[in-house]
Amino acid sequence: MTPPPAAPSGTAARLSLRRRLFRELLPPLFLLWLVGSGFILMRSWDEIGDSYIDQLEHLAFTLAQVLDETAMTAEEAVESVRARRDRNFFVIVLREGQPVLRSALAPEGMVAMPGDGFETRRYYLASAEARDGTVQVITGLKKEEVRQLTTAVVGGAALPMALVMIGMWAVMYVGVGRALAPVERLRAQLAARSPGALDPVGTEGVPEDLQPLVRALDDLLSRLRDAIASERDFVADASHELRTPLAAIRAQVETIDRAALDAPSREALDQVLRGVDRSTRLAQQLLRLARADRLDRPDAPETCLHEALASVVSELFPAAVRQDTELELAADPVMLRIRPEDLGMLVGNLVENALHHGGPGGQVRVSCGSEGGVAWLRVEDAGPGIPEAERARLFARFRRGDGARAHGAGLGLSIVDSVAGRMGATVTLGRSADLGGLSAELRFPPEATV
């Protein structure tokens, strides 16, 4: 048989589907934002630099033509450039190699169009000459100006892009949440089910993508229901069939004349009877357990708990007499929705446990009432009780206390827990304040109290 694939471990196993989607989508979106911002930066840098260079060349050419004395006197040209004082540009005008005009931002010492060097690293430069070649105009712009402007442009574009990213994230969050709403509804529907609810989930209202999963789950629930029903039927049938031969064995043993036996033989006969009684009680408890685990259970009718409790306790009175145990009932009037067979199994198993483990000559008290709209039922005994550390594990099947006085199968509390769980009730074990032994208290859900 091929082993099942190993479950994912670590962070991957803890991530929800929503977080998985965000983890897969957000990094690519962030990468796209970086690429887009970088592309804008490069294009902006090139376009702005080219634009400034064109302006420099145009300015140089224009000034060179203007400074041609055939169009304007030198004094008029100088005054027009000085009046401009543009913070972005500088202008140097040379006549026959000598500077005749230098704007405020012009670098000191520049008296000719430089080649590759410090100035070309710091400035964008352009030059032009007049028609007669006597006038040369050099224009320049600090590259830092272009960088600042480019940064401003890119920053102005990146911020809206970041806001768009945040908006996209919010839209994704809402969209993914809505898309996963059917998954959340399915999870809540399954979480709200009781442990014994194995009826199909159904595909009504389930998205198409989830329907194969739901159908597979329904098929699994159906097979599990059939397997559990088959197992419980077998246990019930086996328990029922065992009761007849056990009763026959006991009847045959009781026909033996004890007076004709010696002491060892009478002791052996008593051991046989005790063994038959234990086996009979085990068969009865297995049958009760199979009935408690039934999947098809009718609705619980409204019941007078105190009256029904009195009827159940009266049936257990002969067992108390045989154990030489005082069986006491203290019941306040309470109306409760509970099936009679469930009440019989709850009280029967709790009282039988109290009788067997409380020891002969003891006392067992059965009581019921309501507190704050919640009905409760309590069975107490005067036995040795159960240490707190052992109480939780006694609800497991075939589990007995270490200090149990009587030999039992360890099914009584398991049956009680199974029946109570199906009703939504809770079982609490503690120490009886009055009798000193074990106290088993059932608290029913508020909706079960009438």
Angstrom distance (rounded) from CA 102 to CA 344: 113
Q: Tell me the pLDDT tens digit for each residue of 341-366.
A: 888 888 888 888 888 877 778 899 99
Cα-Cα-Cα-Cα dihedral sign, residues 49, 90, 82, 104: positive
Measured distance CA(144)–CA(156) in Å, rounded: 18
Residue carrying the six token digits 């009587």: 406
Instruction: Tell me the per-residue pLDDT of 86-96, one tens digit each, with 9 for 90 and over.
Output: 455 677 777 77
> Order of strands, edge to edge, in the sheet holding 363-371?
326-331, 363-371, 374-381, 438-443, 426-431
Domain ranges for the chain, please list them. Answer: 9-179, 198-296, 299-448
**How high is the pLDDT of residue 18?**
67
What is the dotted CATH code of the domain comprising 299-448?
A: 3.30.565.10
Contact 181, 158 (CB under 8 A): no
Distance CA 334, CA 308 (A): 10
Burial label, 310 (beta-carbon count in 10 A; 0-12, 13-18, 19+):
middle
What pLDDT shows up at residue 364?
92
- For the chain, 450 residues long, give each residue's pLDDT as a single digit of tens: 444 444 444 444 455 566 767 777 778 777 777 777 777 777 677 666 666 676 666 566 666 655 555 555 555 655 555 554 445 567 777 777 777 777 767 777 777 777 765 567 788 788 888 777 777 888 887 787 777 777 777 776 777 777 777 877 777 777 777 777 778 888 888 888 776 677 888 888 777 777 888 889 889 888 888 887 777 676 666 666 677 787 888 888 888 887 888 888 888 888 888 777 777 777 776 666 666 555 455 577 888 888 888 888 888 888 888 888 999 999 888 898 888 888 888 888 888 888 887 777 889 999 999 988 899 999 999 888 888 878 877 776 656 555 544 455 566 787 788 788 878 888 999 999 888 888 999 999 888 887
CA-only gyration radius of the chain, Å? 48
User: Mean pLDDT of all residues in the chain?
Assistant: 75
CA 4-9-14 angle, to 5 degrees, is 115
CATH class of 198-296: mainly alpha
**Predicted pLDDT at 10:** 47
354 and 385 in contact (C-beta within 8 Å)?
no
Distance from C-alpha of 21 to C-alpha of 11, rounded to nearest angstrom: 14
pLDDT attached to residue 368: 92
* Separation CA 450–CA 242 (nearest Å): 40
The number of helix segments (H) and strand segments (E) in the chain equals 12, 11
This prediction's pTM: 0.47
In this predicted structure, what is the pLDDT of residue 439?
92
B/e letters for 181-210, b = 16+ CB within 10 Å, e = fewer, are: eebeebeeeeeeeeebebeebeeeebeeee
**Can you give the pLDDT at residue 406?**
47
Phi then psi for residue 246, to 5 deg, are -65, -40
8 Å CB contact between 383 and 438 = yes
Chain centroid to CA 332: how far? Answer: 43
DSSP letter for each residue of 219-232: HHHHHHHHHHHHHH
